[in-house]
Amino acid sequence: MKLWAVSLRKEFRVLKSSSKEYEVRCPDRDCTWRVHAYKGKFKTHWECSIVTPHTCRLTGVVGHHRNITSTFVAKKMYGVILDKMDYEPALIIRDIEQNFQYVISYAKAWRAKQKVFEMRFGTYEASYDNLPCMLEAIVHRNPGSAFDTYSVPSLSGGPNILLRAFFCIGACVRAFIYCLPVLCIDGTFLTGKYKGTILTAIGIDCNKQIVPIAFAFVENENTESWYWFLERLKIHVVAGRPNVCLISDRHAGLLAAIRQLQEGS
């Protein structure tokens, strides 16, 4: 319907939209254009029962079209954006203008790009919900791996909110035994819909190659999150290995967490 409307350079408004019926008509009240469709007998396709012609006329060249939505743009640009993940909204605007002769806003182009990512990779909410199950599957398939999560109650009374997640892969944990007794720990911020920080612990082998040891997703760099990460790093990775040197940027929260671990041990 949207492709047809754009090709006619006419807009429409939806009167009825359900799993069984779909009906649209021209936004011009004096126009008789109307399309009604319903699910076919075998529920495998849609059938149009009513299609009436437009009786209104174009009032002039219009640069915008109400039915070119962000979802419409996402479906049209799906392959292009996935082939080049850094495709800029300005280029999306240019492509839509070249293909359909309409100009969309920068905000709509940006939303369309985000919807392409959701169509391909799922939503941020689903990713957070699936993270514990995914980590559990990784640990089950990789002996010696470990993970832990920390959730807090929702203020609205809904499901608990995932606040932190830690994981390490068994192969990397075993490799650390033969690495130098050095761990480089640092944190960097996440840039997705839900902000946060990823904490990392990196080892160095005898050939001076890096070995990814452990990771954690936390709310931000503070004493509590660093302590939570280092405590699990000590239990699952360092274990009984003595005199492991930590290289860091001496973040205040990190130094406080190290002191707490030393006092606790």
In the predicted structure, residue 265 carries a pLDDT above the cut 60:
no
The contacts found for 57-64 with CB under 8 angstroms, 24 or more apart, are 58/9, 58/10, 62/9, 62/102, 63/102, 63/103, 64/102, 64/103, 64/104
Q: What is the mean pLDDT of residues 10-20?
A: 90
> What is the radius of gyration, based on Cα positions, of the chain?
27
- Locate tokens 């939503």: which residue? 123
- CA separation (Å) from 217 to 130, 167, 191? 14, 9, 12
pLDDT digits (tens, 9 = 90+) for 158-196: 888 899 999 999 999 999 999 999 999 999 998 878 889
pLDDT band of 42, cuts 50, 70, 90? confident
pLDDT band of 198, cuts 50, 70, 90? very high
pLDDT more than 90, % of the chain: 62
- How many CB atoms lie under 10 A from the CB of residue 107? 10
Mean predicted lDDT score pLDDT of the chain: 90
User: What whole-number distance in Å separates Cα of residue 26 and Cα of residue 56?
Assistant: 9
pLDDT digits (tens, 9 = 90+) for 222-261: 999 999 999 999 999 998 888 899 999 988 999 999 999 8
Q: What is the mean pLDDT of residues 54-67?
A: 79
In the predicted structure, residue 124 carries a pLDDT above the cut 90:
no
Phi and psi based region of residue 155 (left: phi greater than 0; alpha: psi -120 to 50; beta: remaining):
alpha
In the predicted structure, residue 60 carries a pLDDT above the cut 80:
no
Q: Is the dihedral of CA 236, 237, 242, 246 positive or negative?
A: negative
Q: What is the mean pLDDT of residues 87-100?
A: 94
Strand-pair partners of 48: 37
- Which phi and psi (to 5°) does residue 246 adopt? -105, 125
pLDDT band of 68, cuts 50, 70, 90? very high
- Locate tokens 């398939």: which residue? 141
Alpha-carbon dihedral angle through residues 43, 48, 49, 53, given to the nearest 10 degrees: 170
Nearest to 184 by CA among 171, 203, 197: 203
Are the beta carbons of 23 and 48 closer than 8 angstroms?
Answer: no
Q: What is the mean pLDDT of residues 120-149?
A: 92
pLDDT digits (tens, 9 = 90+) for 137-151: 999 999 999 999 999
Domains of the chain, residue spans: 1-61, 68-121, 124-264
